[in-house]
Amino acid sequence: MSSRGLDYTLLTFVLIGAINWGLIGFFRFDLVAFLFGNMSWLSRIVYGIVGISGLYLLSAYGRIRAVNEA
């Protein structure tokens, strides 16, 4: 998988996490827990992937800056 493909895949996971947090904030509804169970092993994997995706996408700031400076 190319770096660009990885970026888009992980961005999708981060957007899922953002939507989930919005649902929690506005409606007190946790979509991940609803779909996979409250802190089941599957929901913990989803939360973990979303968190790792967010950490990886922090590198996007450096890549965006490098493109703008070039």
Q: Has this prediction a pTM greater than 0.75?
A: yes
pLDDT in tens, 44-68: 999 999 999 999 998 887 777 777 6
pLDDT in tens, 21-45: 999 999 999 999 999 999 999 999 9
Distance CA 45, CA 40 (A): 9
First to last CA, the chain: 25
What residue spans define the domains of the chain?
3-69
